[in-house]
Amino acid sequence: MDVTTDPSAPWLIAGLGNPGPEYAMNRHNVGFMVVDLLAERMSGRFKRAGKAQAQVVEGRIGPPGPLNRRVILAKPMSFMNLSGGPVNALRDFYKVPVEHVVAVHDELDIDYGTLRLKLGGGDNGHNGLKSMTKAFGAEYHRVRCGIGRPPGRMQVADFVLKDFSSAERKELDWFVDRAADAVECLVIEGLERAQGTYNS
């Protein structure tokens, strides 16, 4: 399955993370970083989304004409493991088909700086994805941003809630920029093209 049967339907791009300044630079918050950059590109400002526990920016991406897409950028404000509720509330409100939902999230099983895009599949132990899948099924797109595995005996929970290291931060702007490009390509040109360009 690629771009859906109704190309005029809006897209919901959900960056996953935890709200609050203490989490802002955590590895777990790379999804927030990507949608923040997308909002900047659209000259949009996040605002509270009605009754949904989320912040949103509404806008359009893509060239003028048939490839121009209506998008809603979202940051759930519920904490990572409860992301499904706010995303589903936004999906209902904006009438977004499940296959037009994109989760942008950190991925432990991919090396740092590597991207992988896919449609559907399991949650691989990621609590944000687990919550989304429970809320509306698994057939949504994922932009998986590799953060690598924790070193030594560090617990996964500790690793994802730590800030990117100083070495990682040297590449972080490039990585977030590339992930934002991948989201735009997915929405405008479809999964197959985006995978061919950005999966590594």
Residues with catalytic roles: 28
Contact 74, 39 (CB under 8 A): no
Contact 132, 92 (CB under 8 A): no
Task: Kindly state the tokens that stand for 147.
Answer: 């953060």
Query: Distance between CA 138 and CA 14 in Å, rounded?
Result: 14
**Residue 104: its H or E element:** strand 101-107
- Report which residue type is found at 46: F
Contact 103, 140 (CB under 8 A): yes
- What is the distance between the terminal CA atoms of the chain, rounded to a whole angstrom? 21
CB-hemisphere CA count at 13 Å for 158?
6
